[in-house]
Chain A
């Protein structure tokens, strides 16, 4: 359907190995919803540690059989370590070339940044050097009011909106398909509609938005949420914004029952990814590092000296929907698209296991499904009325 903009495909989504360097645990901001409970300015990755990780990964291609790779850099704020990143990316490129590694022809460097020092000379020089292999997302929450509610500077407590928005035109010029990630927690619900519309108006055509998986929801939040999404649906459809913009809250495949045996995959990619911290420890995903966990011990699956302990990966690689989900999820009529985060499941579980699915978002998902139904029904109806699409058959038997 040419009229409705689709999500831009994530580069080799699901096929590339994702390798994440936690280059620093420091950040200029102290966002109120930040899940990183152990942020600090001391743990910065050294080049020697990063290099040892690269040597291990590139030196053991049989352990990483994927055809492509995404080298991901996160923090804290990754661009606070631009010198390290620049040197490391040069090293990765040289080594992939020297080893004639299959990834040399299929790699990407990926960043999710708060955007504050995006226009700095060092970051810009790095972008220029690696442009064809870069994915950069800038995180902005929406309107000034909404953004500054959460994303405030450490110390001063001042909002960061102006410093981020200043860099959006430059970023979009360099990455015209750039999308942003928005995370919704309980206090953010009233601002959803205005925030998404504001991001569209800034020229960001792809807004990837989701509710946090943590158990933060209050009674009535689901109704407020549904109401906001309905208003957003009206605005997108009435204003024909769907032609150029995508908001990930609305997806056609959302809210269908799932077959217990045929649709038994795990949602989350933990274990298929690899994260490395400043000490050179390996994690199945960043969410299993100590600084991300509220109440559980970190799950360290190896380190740069001893490599990966394959036994510790087995639970991640055999996790399925059936085993970790409670009965209510297996018989749920609107199960498709109801996501989970393995790290949050682990953090919230009553025993130290990754096999207990947290369902804190249950009511929020159901609210989203209702609004999503409304969105697609309204959108199809509008397109039919506009004559851009044949009418839906009203009688199943005779297709009339």
Chain B
């Protein structure tokens, strides 16, 4: 069931996730009329709105419309993001996010993360929640996965130390898994849809930026159904429904890019999520050496990093 509508306020609104948004050449904001229609559509369909801002301040007219409805703001850190619900940072330049003390999404490439992961500590201390998204998952090699295994374990040690020191940092890669007992992934195409400035609907902004023709509907439709919508649900994902890396993004846009099917993840996506899962488990043990901690949480040891390798057991 759809619960959210992501509305892009410009044809090049900032990316808040794995996909790349086009760089801003000239401002192409959504028209006021289209925004009004989008808001009415969301209200009729009972969808909570998430506005995604571009890398510039929007006009007063659009701002007024934005504030005519309950909503959630996703804003890049390079504009005035004091009113943001989530601040998006590209790369390890997060001074603004530290100042703002807001939930932060950090978009990063593997090499920068491998080199600078320890710099995350001040960010984790300052903001309530850090959501790291890799923008080059599809380019991880076997060697990169090896490096990630080491790096995520080292980061887990840092985070464990913070917990032992009575802090309560939250970072999706390591702490989300601790508080989950079922899949909690990106709901693109299943619980959320994205409206682009052209009035068309997409599973997520990534699909729009890849090919604006590739829409799944339009805000003029009355029934909120999308073609082959079942393929975006967990029940229709043969690999993921056998998996317990519950924090995994299960990015359907990456799935489509890497395997041509929205319901099938790539090997790299699965291995990364399992390295995180396993590092979460070790971190849990490290914290427990200092006293009782989340006693209900259990992360079993498993002998695989990609559930696909266990398909003969399904």
Contact = CB atoms under 8 A, between A and B. Distances in A.
A311 B311 contact: no
Nearest to B237: A323
B218 interface: no
Interface of A: 299, 310-312, 314-315, 317-320, 323, 349-356
Given A314-B308, A318-B308, A323-B236, A355 B260 contact: no
B236 A315 contact: no
Interface stretch (B83-91, B157-165, B169-177, B261-269): B261-269
A69 to B, nearest CB: 21
5 contacts: A312-B260, A314-B259, A315-B261, A353-B228, A353-B262
B264 A314 contact: yes
Contacts of A323: 236-238, 263
A171 to B, nearest CB: 40
Nearest to A349: B228
Contacts of B264: 314-315, 318
B239 interface: yes
A355 B261 contact: yes
Given A318-B308, A355-B231, A355-B236, A310 B267 contact: yes
A326 to B, nearest CB: 9
Interface string B230-249: 01000011110000000000
B26 to A, nearest CB: 32
Nearest to B138: A311
Interface SS majority for chain A: loop
Contacts, number: 53
A148 B170 CA distance: 73
A320 B311 CA distance: 11
Contacts of A311: 258-259, 266-268
Nearest to A356: B228
B227 interface: yes
Nearest to A326: B230
A354 B256 CA distance: 12
B260 A299 contact: yes
A323 B230 CA distance: 9
Nearest to A318: B238
A295 to B, nearest CB: 14
Contacts of B267: 310-311, 314
Contacts of B265: 314
Nearest to B264: A315
Contacts of A350: 227-228
A314 B266 contact: yes
Of residues B239, B260, B267, which shows the largest number of chain A Cβ atoms within 10 Å of its Cβ?
A: B260
A352 B259 CA distance: 12
Of residues A317, A318, A349, which shows the largest number of chain B Cβ atoms within 10 Å of its Cβ?
A: A318
Contacts of B260: 299, 312, 315, 352
A318 B231 contact: no
Contacts of B239: 314, 318
A383 to B, nearest CB: 40
A355 B263 contact: yes
Contact of B311 (A312, A317, A353): A317
A320 B238 contact: yes
Nearest to A301: B260
B311 A315 contact: no
Given A311-B266, A353-B262, 8 more contacts: A315-B260, A315-B261, A315-B264, A319-B238, A323-B237, A350-B228, A351-B227, A355-B263
B259 A354 contact: no
B238 A354 contact: no
B228 A315 contact: no
Contact of A353 (B231, B237, B238, B258): B231
Contacts of B228: 349-351, 353, 355-356
B164 to A, nearest CB: 40
Contacts of A356: 228, 231
Contacts of B308: 314, 317-318
A262 to B, nearest CB: 12
A10 B237 CA distance: 33
A356 B266 CA distance: 20
A314 to B, nearest CB: 5
A315 to B, nearest CB: 4
